[in-house]
Amino acid sequence: ENSLQKTSAPFSANSYDDFISLNTLNFSSFAKLMKRLQEIHPEATKDQIVDALLEVRKNNRGVLNGLSINSIVERTSIIV
């Protein structure tokens, strides 16, 4: 499966647009991930989902590299 890639840019913003602009990632993977998470958690805002993704990243030594989309979805869903 596709995995998200990080850059050395620090995370200081929580919005969807800032998340994309601060990271070099495969947009189709990110869009697929966001769509899946929004389907699972329709009550959550995009910002809440991004905040949860940032927490997953933080808990995984600051990277999402190496995690499958399914693993990221599972870990994010626990937080959301």
What is the reported pLDDT for 26? 64
Which one, of 26, 20, 78, 13, lies nearest residue 52 by Cα?
Answer: 78
N-term to C-term CA, the chain: 22
The total of structural domains in the chain comes to 1
Dist. CA 78–CA 50, nearest whole Å: 13
45 inside domain = yes
- Give me the residue label for tokens 């999402």: 64
Q: Report which of residues 1 and 77 the model is more confident about.
A: 77
Question: Is a pLDDT exceeding 70 seen at residue 6?
Answer: no
| 34 domain-assigned | yes
- Using the CB atoms, write b or e for 13-29: b if 16+ within 10 Å: eeebeebeeebebeeeb
Statement: residue 5 has pLDDT above 90: no
Domain containing residue 69: 28-78
- pLDDT, position 51: 93
Query: pLDDT digit string (tens) for 42-67?
Result: 999 999 999 999 999 999 988 888 88
Within-domain flag for 58: yes
Residue 66 lies in a domain: yes
